[in-house]
Structure 1
Amino acid sequence: MHTPASMVMGIVFAPLGLVLVFTAAITPQWREGQARLNIGGPGSYLRSGTKGQGTGVRSGSAEALLLLRSDGLWESCLQVERSELKQCWPVSGPYKRDSRVRLVQGLMLTSLFLCGVGIILACIGVRCWTDLPLRRVAASGGILVVTAGLLSLTGLGVYTHNLRRLGADPSRGIGNPRFPQLSLNAAGSLYFGWLGSCLQVLGGTALLLSFKRPRCPACPPRQEQAVCPACRSCPELSSKTDMDVYEVSC
């Protein structure tokens, strides 16, 4: 069987898009921010213990730590720059309760489910073990994959548009020195999600082309010429019982 190029394209792009969107959904790098935390001031001592002995380093100016904060859909992380100190925890507080974050979570989960079902239908429709594919089944899988891609694109767009406002707490004002301000920016997981969603749309669109039947050559005028099985047998030739018909893939 000669598998149509549209089916090959769809069956390759759809799983690749699913992997990228899944990677984006579970990783906590949807947005990242940096903040400087003052840990000392003029005349302060920075102490570190080594085998019970403390060593003091006098600082003539303020010391600061650069904190790297990252948020995802289900997990947040905090890391000190240039160190191995990193801690992650499930999302909580105003960020978790934000209706836009919950909307994006639902859209991404629905997208993953629909894309998985669509890929299964596409694999059944291609039917590499038979001569002719189930075009309607493959195209139905393409519809689900396209829908999954559009849902994930919608979720990514909502998150990106409200990136700096998600989980904003009015009590943490600009003038409050207890809470350092974060400069939030888009992070790597968003780019994985955008790429995966675009691949889902492309793969699903390619599978949708399976609805279109291939063009077969005209019915042969002579008996020795082959007949395309997708075109069925020609009316003027089907009545002849002594004709040899050869199956040729279109």
Structure 2
Amino acid sequence: MRTPTAMIVGIVLGPCGLVLNLTSTLAPAWRDLSRIPDQAYDMIQHQGIWDICNEFQGTQKTQCNIKDTLGYFSHQTVQVAKGLMPSSVAVTVLGLVVASLGVRCWQDMPQYLLAGLGGLLLFVSGLLSLIAVSWYNHDIQNLPITAGSSLAVGYCLVLGYLGSCLEIIGGFSLSLSFAQCCKERKLKKAAMDYSYPPSSQRVPATTAAVSPSFGNTEIQMDYYRTPTPRSYTNPQDVLESEHPSNWSRFPCDSDL
């Protein structure tokens, strides 16, 4: 069986979103400060959620682990991003593992339930990172800043938006596997209802027997109490009046 298109889309976009979000989480470039007073004119300060780096454009040198003197890392928005971004990366990895077990790799038929669960995890991870990036972007002006410096959005926010969108789209695409899973369950249930009761549980009504006592003939048919179409109960196109239940008790009528 060929892998469904929805699964291919999800299993491709998921890792792409993971790479982008992981880069956005680790890189110190959520916002950039330039023209900082009492600093070199060509210096740009990159502020992330874990570290602060100073980059000098003239010499192409970068200094990291800059001390936070403004209380930037203690701001609520940065603290929220510190919690949501690693959580999003962890949930993304878990979702990709579950989805890879569901998508057809070494088996003939895909496991739609596992693929759907993996897609749901990817969707949730995309929402987590999107909340963190959007919240930071909304409060970027309210974060501590040196007076007189210029502020610009860092590339990590752009990567975070892209990674979140890719994970949301990929997760939604994989979550469509739930529809196929429900469809298979309905087909199995319908097949079970059609074949109920099982052949092992069918109870024979009576056994054909002939009682020769006093010339009385007792005819009892051996059949199963299972509703079947008339074409199967009457294969020889016998009239209803000639059904064995309507036979008289006289031997001659029985022989006829």
Normalised to the residue count of structure 2, the TM-score between the two structures is 0.67
8 Å contact from structure 1 (residues 65, 81) kept in 2: no
Cα distance in 2 between the residues matched to 1:35 and 1:138: 50
Shift of 1:191: 0.7
The structure carrying a bigger strand percent of its residues is 1
Shift of 1:199: 0.2
Shift of 1:183: 1.1
2:162 aligned residue (195, 200, 217): 195
1:22-41 correspondence runs (5 A):
22-35=22-35, 37=37
User: How many equivalent pairs are there?
Assistant: 191
8 Å contact from structure 1 (residues 74, 91) kept in 2: no
Q: Which residue of 2 aligns with 1:205?
A: 172
Cα distance in 2 between the residues matched to 1:6 and 1:136: 14
Shift of 1:82: 1.6
Higher-RCO chain (CA-CA 8 Å, sequence separation at least 6)? 1
Q: Which residue of 1 aligns with 2:4?
A: 4
Cα deviations by residue, 1:183-221 (Å, 9 ceiling, x for unpaired): 11111111111111100000000000011228x9xxxxx
Cα deviations by residue, 1:78-101 (Å, 9 ceiling, x for unpaired): 122322332111663401111210
Shift of 1:38: 5.9
Cα deviations by residue, 1:126-159 (Å, 9 ceiling, x for unpaired): 1322121111111011111000001100000111
8 Å contact from structure 1 (residues 163, 185) kept in 2: no
Cα distance in 1 between the residues matched to 2:103 and 2:38: 61
Q: Which residue of 2 aligns with 1:85?
A: 61
In structure 1, runs of 5+ residues without a counterpart are 40-63, 175-180, 217-229, 237-250
8 Å contact from structure 1 (residues 97, 167) kept in 2: no
Q: Which is greater in Rg? A: 2
8 Å contact from structure 1 (residues 138, 210) kept in 2: yes
% identity of equivalent residues: 34
Aligned residue for 2:72, secondary structure, equals: helix
Aligned residue for 2:108, secondary structure, equals: coil
Shift of 1:36: 5.3
8 Å contact from structure 1 (residues 37, 67) kept in 2: no
Cα distance in 1 between the residues matched to 2:173 and 2:84: 23
Cα distance in 1 between the residues matched to 2:83 and 2:178: 30
8 Å contact from structure 1 (residues 34, 183) kept in 2: yes
Q: Which residue of 2 aligns with 1:44?
A: none
8 Å contact from structure 1 (residues 36, 66) kept in 2: no
8 Å contact from structure 1 (residues 145, 200) kept in 2: yes
Cα distance in 1 between the residues matched to 2:178 and 2:30: 37
1:143-154 correspondence runs (5 A):
143-154=120-131
8 Å contact from structure 1 (residues 24, 189) kept in 2: yes
Q: Taking structure 1 as reference, are residues 127 and 91 closer, same or farther at Cα in structure 2, changes over 3 Å only? A: farther
1:1-250 correspondence runs (5 A):
1-35=1-35, 37=37, 65-89=41-65, 92-93=68-69, 94-168=71-145, 174=147, 181-213=148-180
Normalised to the residue count of structure 1, the TM-score between the two structures is 0.69
Aligned residue for 1:149, secondary structure, equals: helix
Cα distance in 1 between the residues matched to 2:66 and 2:166: 29
